[in-house]
Structure 1
Amino acid sequence: MSKAKKLAKPIDIWKKKRWHTILAPKLFNNQVIGESPALEPNMMLGRTVMANLMHLTRDMKNQHVDLTFEVEKIQGDTAYTQLKTYEVNPAYIKRFVRRNRDRIDDSFICKSSDGVLVQLKPFLLTRSLTTKSIATKMRNITRRYLAHYVSQNDYESIARDIVNYRVQRTLVDYVKHLYPLKACEIRVMGLVKGEIKNVVKPSSIDDLTPPSNERQQQRRRPREMREIKAGVQETEHALPMNVKRKVQVEGKEDLTEEKEEEVQEVKEA
């Protein structure tokens, strides 16, 4: 009988793999967002990792935003990423959508100042029902402003301003004069690779209504006046009664002196 051939032992590939630490971009202070095994460092390129914005900013208010990071560079056992997509949770959007409100959505691709194609999906929600013409104007203004903004900034600045909610606040100021808004969000922001024909070209926004700083100051003035009055009342309550009476008497004496001076001026005339 022929001797039975010895079967080769299967090679355990997992023993050859090395773990690589994945870091977030500088926008999030290069925090560790995960680990991943790979046979070679180059195999890590292009891998994606999802994380919630709440865990990166330590703020509960950001739990409705999900981020996707893509590995773009490797140094040793460390993988560096860039922000690939910024997406608002659909359940968060559904909380705002109700009857007698108009939802305005849009989706387009524009190019940043450093040549990166960025896809934006803004979301507007009015406080009540409006006409189609007003909704169309709001959609067009939103597209014009965002396309102009993206063309004037690089991708890192765009991602930073959207994460910090600066773009959304400014967009509200450009649109709210047409109709009051209940919500204004950038529902999706993401990188687009490859050649895209339907890229929105930026145009001037000089004819649009800019954010009015005067209105914001007028809104703050009543609040400041209330704070000043509250401070005066607190100081008055803190004073003893005899000091309050002296202050009132001194004020009356000042008024009488002013009246006497006015009477003398009239007599001399």
Structure 2
Amino acid sequence: MAAKRRVSAAKDKWKLKQWYVIYAPDFFGGVEVGLTPADDPEKVLNRVVEVTLKDITGDFLKGHVKLYFQVYDVKGQNAYTKFKGMKLARSYIRSLVRRRTTRIDGIFNITTKDGYKLRVMAMVIAARRIQTSQERAIRKIMQEIIYKKAEELNFKDFVLEAVNGKIAAEIAKEAKKIYPLKKAEIRKIKVLGEPEVAA
């Protein structure tokens, strides 16, 4: 009997739950990206949803770009999100790194023009084994371009240029002057802090 009561209680609890529609941030088009159940709108706040850039754009070539959105506001049955981070799928990264290539990584903590603090991880794959001095030169190029972009762009524009490959393309353009490249990518972004809002 106790087991039946537990099952019945679980069913009743599930019936009380409502479905909330989750929307991407406005600068990603504000499109619907998922549904989540909850018996209280407060429980929807701070939930994180993972989607791919393909889900938003319909571009099948962008399925390896994972985006993370966090719910910050709920109005009625609608849950609105903000960008929390992105990363490339591990399988995609593995496909780029082959024998006799060189992977150069850079991790940079930046502050955008409008005060958002981000950790940006960039990656360049050289077509062959390269010298340490060449690695340093390429890493310096990565750093200079990423810091320059942070100074010039607000948070939304920086994220879009990173996610859409524009920043990586600029890195590749300069880095290939040091050595022929296979690929340049922004492989991960994490939001570390947001600007304080004046009271």
TM-score range, shorter chain: 0.7 to 0.9
SS of match in other structure, 2:177: coil
Q: What pairs up with 1:223-238 in 2 under 5 angstroms?
A: none
Match of 1:164 in 2: 164
- Consecutive unaligned residues of structure 1, counting only runs of 5 or more, are 1-6, 195-269
- Find the aligned partners of 2:59 and 2:50 in 1 and give their Cα distance: 17
- Indicate whether 1:177 and 2:181 are aligned: no
Match of 1:115 in 2: 115
* Structure 1 segments of 4+ aligned residues over 6 angstroms from their partners: none
Q: What pairs up with 1:1-269 in 2 under 5 angstroms?
A: 10=9, 12-193=12-193
Give TM-score, length-normalised by structure 2: 0.86
Does the CA-based 8 Å contact 2:165-2:186 persist in structure 1?
no
- Consecutive unaligned residues of structure 2, counting only runs of 5 or more, are 195-199
Calculate the aligned-residue CA RMSD, in Å. Answer: 2.0
Residue 10 of structure 1 and its aligned partner are, at CA, apart by 4.8
Match of 1:255 in 2: none
Match of 1:254 in 2: none
Structure with the larger strand share = 2
* CA 13–193 in structure 1, closer or farther in 2 if over 3 Å, else same: farther
Does the CA-based 8 Å contact 2:33-2:55 persist in structure 1?
no
Q: Which amino acid aligns with 1:134?
A: Q
Does the CA-based 8 Å contact 2:70-2:83 persist in structure 1?
yes
Aligned residues: 187
- Find the aligned partners of 1:108 and 1:170 in 2 and give their Cα distance: 16
**Structure with greater Cα Rg:** 1
Residue 110 of structure 1 and its aligned partner are, at CA, apart by 1.0
Structure with the larger helix share = 1
Residue 116 of structure 1 and its aligned partner are, at CA, apart by 1.1
Q: Which amino acid aligns with 1:30?
A: G
Match of 2:197 in 1: none
Higher relative contact order (CA 8 A, sep 6+): 2
Match of 1:224 in 2: none
SS of match in other structure, 1:106: strand
